[in-house]
A and B are shown apart, each in its own frame.
Chain A
Amino acid sequence: MTATLERTDDGFVRRSEGPGVKRRVVGAKWAIGGVVLVTILAFIAYAQRADNDYTPLSIKNYEPGGARALAEVAGDQGLDMRQIESLSDARITDPESTTLVIANGEALQAFQARTILDYPGDVVIIGESHALLTELGEYLWVVESTERTLEAGCSHVDARAAGTVSTSGAVIAGTTDATARYCFTASDNGGSTVVFTHGTAGGRVTAVADPAIVVNDTIDNEGNAALALRLIGKHDNAVWYVGSLFDTTILTWTSPDNPHGPAQRDDVPASTDFLPPGTGNAVFALVLAMFFVALWRARRFGPLVHEPLPVVIRSSEATRGRARLYRSAGASGRAAASLRASAATRIGARIGVPRSSGKAVLLAATARAAGRPVAEVEAILYGPPPGNESAMMSLIEQIDTLEREVHRT
């Protein structure tokens, strides 16, 4: 910001008095109001911030792809639901009364899948999880069906209670052991939406092929809600796992053969990486601090100084432009004429023939100096114009040779 000046003694100047604080505040009332408004909005946004996330199938996500509706209703019905982002965070102390829901198991690997199937309590698998289905039965995989509304078609109590479900078409094909029951079977390819079976430790395992049963968008269609609530609400507690690629941990729980079990939930937070705890927060603080660093570096020490620059066109540009014109027009004749004339002038100056003395005198003197026949010199200096560029190039060669011969003498 530049200022107006007032003169003091001895050639000193200083900033003249400004308009005063009150005038300045009144003048900047819109700016001040804007800053206050933005601050209030920022605080509101900050207060609202923790309530939502955007992870698909998260029980905090109220987008169409989230599972918040299910979690809210189940919570109202007295179910204690907890979401985990890493398997080691599960720390289930009472497997008998805790349902484990693998909501998004696509990134799970075989060793993780095995620990999940070892879980003695109930397990619900939602959506496609290649590792889990492969561990569950050799020929289980998810395929597409054209049917969107499926009848229970089996005697399982949960399936019968739901009656009909509405899906987006994913079904599980193949079979597992003999005790498994296949419900909501599609007639076109024989795949089932829900497979009831058992894990390696005897826990009930329910595989739901299609997340459409639980997501906010489609949970209220047909019997989806009934099926979902019955599957996760068998016991008082449910642990809802939303996986990610970064999770390489295995499931933890306390069981009779391992009475000590994992550490208590609040003791040491499980970490999915190898960085010291708090590193993420430190990085976050440093990112915020970048704002100050940017302010510090960006503030210029006074306005930019402009330099009145001189013209930077070279004098030879005009000549180069003319050369380009010759080139684009293919003016080999005119170019050769210029070079011939300038060569003749130089030769004349060299052997002392004034320009006014005429062509014949110059030719005779040049021929004598170069030791060549007059006709040859005439062909070089006054011959017909070259028809093309290669003729011009060879003519230039001859002119240069002639000039060298004359200069040698």
Chain B
Amino acid sequence: MYITGWTALLAVLGAIPATITRSQDIAWLWMFGVLALAAIDAIAAPSTRSISVRRTVPHSVRLTEATQSTLTLANTSSRRVHGSVRDAWPPSAGAGKNRHRYSLARGRTQVFTTPLMPTRRGDRKAAHVTLRMEGPLRLAGRQRALPVDTSLRVLPEFASRKHLPARLARLRELDGLSPILMRGAGSEFDSLREYVIGDDVRTIDWRATGRRADVVVRTYRPERDRRVFIVVDTARLSAARVGDAPRLEASIEAALLLSALASRAGDRVQVTAFDRVERARAQGASGSALMPVLASALAPVEPHLIETDWPALVRLIGERLSQRALVVLLTTVDISLVDSGALQAIAALQRDHHVVIASVDDPDEGTMLQARGDVESVYTAAAAARGRIEQDMVVARIRKSGADVVSALPDDIAPRLADTYLALKSSGRL
């Protein structure tokens, strides 16, 4: 049940007879009359069962891209109905105008669209579709909220894809495919070709040269078909905000860029989101199929306020990987890694694989370190310095076990990690 603005206006008009008659009783009578009229109108309004609703959205949309929710109303009753409908979405779905007026003859349908512009990654679950059925006098009507299940998957933005072309160009250079005068980097034997001036004389294959009249050199290319296993840590440290978003967002960006790069380089990529249990998993896909699978798998991942179970992660990686691989841990390097068993886990992984730890730094820390002026800011600077020293200590211990550490600000972590991958690949350490 609801009343419209017309009822309020009608009630306000009661001031006129009250003024003319100078009687409060007339004012009371008028109001009761309006109330009775509104009640009659609400009873005369059609049932909310008269309308069937269908709401459809695209399966997924990338963050910062616009989409729309389509609402179809069908009048299944035997009379004309009119009123309004609200297509409710949570604020982070970025719904635009979501209230629509309808007027449907018997058996007709009408389609409304609500523009959506999601502002956060994840599964955006739509709220109710609320129907208002207006009575014949337009004074009041019936209202009912229908819990129509609709969900829109908002994929990570993958803003770091702008770094991809430059890294792919580097990759082609490594492959020896680029038209520059150098042999392919890497250690895997690729092919033999004729010597041209400028080639490294150390690559001359004397045996092949002996068989032929020309001088022949060997070309190399980076190893292919290596395994890359990316772990996105979703435990408590991934929930903290760095800049404008949780640390997890930067980790996902880095995972996406590295996966895109590694799959183009011919490596097999697996991604898992892990804290105490596995929260998401993407594997088996390759080539162009990989990125949609990966984005969709990482879209609903949320931080959990628990501590990472490092031994369980080591067991999981042990089950998934049968041969030497590059294991990338997207986590946070701070003093808590020392007593949570992370260092032992990294050392254990490093025995069978090559481990890279990628850590998202807090941009605030840099400014805090520079803070001067009063006692409070100096203490802040001291605390930041202490944090930095502890972090350096942890990094030194991780490096001692042979693993690599990449730490950078949220916007830089993805390209830095990609560069580290390329460096490993060109030096044949994969």
Contacts and interface: CB of A to CB of B under 8 A. Distances in A.
Contacts of B387: 318-319, 322
A327 interface: yes
A127 to B, nearest CB: 31
B241 A336 contact: no
Contact of B127 (A14, A305, A315, A324): A305
Interface residues of A, number: 68
Interface string A323-363: 11011000000111011011001000000000000000000
A48 interface: no
B188 interface: no
A179 interface: no
A326 B12 CA distance: 65
Interface string B112-151: 0000000010000001111010000000000111111000
A320 B12 CA distance: 57
Interface in A150-183: none
B53 A14 contact: yes
B253 to A, nearest CB: 16
A11 interface: yes
Interface in B303-341: 303, 305
Nearest to B385: A342
Given A14-B76, A288-B11, A316-B362, A299 B372 contact: no
Contact of B12 (A18, A293, A389): A293
Interface string A304-325: 0111101111111111101110
B48 A281 contact: no
A282 B19 contact: yes
Contacts of B302: 310
B240 A314 contact: yes
B246 interface: yes
B276 interface: no
A2 interface: yes
A338 B383 contact: yes
Given A12-B74, A315-B241, A1 B145 contact: yes
B128 to A, nearest CB: 5
Contacts of A319: 362, 364-365, 368, 380, 383-384, 387
A274 interface: no
A305 B114 CA distance: 16
Contacts of B88: 302-303, 305
A286 B24 CA distance: 11
A393 interface: yes
Contacts of A281: 18-19, 21-24, 26-27
A252 B92 CA distance: 73
B241 A327 contact: no
Contacts of B4: 296
B130 A15 contact: no
A201 interface: no
Nearest to B127: A305
A316 B72 contact: no
Contacts of A18: 49
A312 B18 contact: no
Contacts of B242: 314-315
B383 A302 contact: no
Interface stretch (B28-36, B221-229, B349-357, B411-419): B28-36
A181 B134 CA distance: 79
A13 interface: yes
A342 B389 CA distance: 7
Main secondary structure of the interface of A (DSSP, over half): helix
Contact of B90 (A5, A307, A314, A336): A307
A341 B369 CA distance: 13
B20 interface: yes
B247 A315 contact: yes
B364 A316 contact: yes
B230 to A, nearest CB: 22
A327 B247 contact: no
Contacts of A11: 54, 56
A289 interface: yes
Contacts of B28: 46, 288
B415 to A, nearest CB: 21
A268 interface: no
A258 interface: no
Q: Which of A18, A314, A338 has the most CB of B within 10 A?
A: A338
Contact of A14 (B49, B375, B386): B49
Contacts of B169: none
A318 B383 CA distance: 9
Given A12-B54, A282-B18, A284-B27, A301 B132 contact: yes
A256 interface: no
Contacts of A302: 86, 88, 127-130, 143, 145
B3 A5 contact: no
B91 interface: yes
Given A289-B11, A306-B90, A389 B241 contact: no
Contacts of A10: 54
A336 to B, nearest CB: 7
A291 B247 CA distance: 50
B89 interface: yes
Nearest to A400: B372
Given A14-B53, A339-B385, A393 B145 contact: no
A319 B367 CA distance: 12
Contact of B14 (A289, A301, A311): A289
Contacts of B247: 315
A342 B388 contact: yes
A306 B92 CA distance: 10
B380 A323 contact: yes
Return the 10 tightest CB-CB contacts between A and B, nearest first. Answer: A302-B130, A335-B382, A342-B385, A285-B18, A289-B11, A285-B27, A315-B240, A316-B364, A12-B52, A292-B11
5 contacts: A3-B48, A13-B54, A285-B19, A303-B127, A327-B375
Interface of A: 1-3, 5, 8, 10-18, 46, 277-279, 281-286, 288-289, 291-293, 295-296, 299, 301-303, 305-308, 310-320, 322-324, 326-327, 334-336, 338-339, 341-342, 345, 389, 392-393, 396, 400
Given A291-B11, A295-B8, 17 more contacts: A2-B147, A13-B53, A13-B148, A46-B28, A278-B19, A285-B15, A289-B31, A292-B10, A303-B88, A305-B89, A311-B241, A314-B240, A319-B362, A319-B387, A323-B382, A338-B389, A392-B375
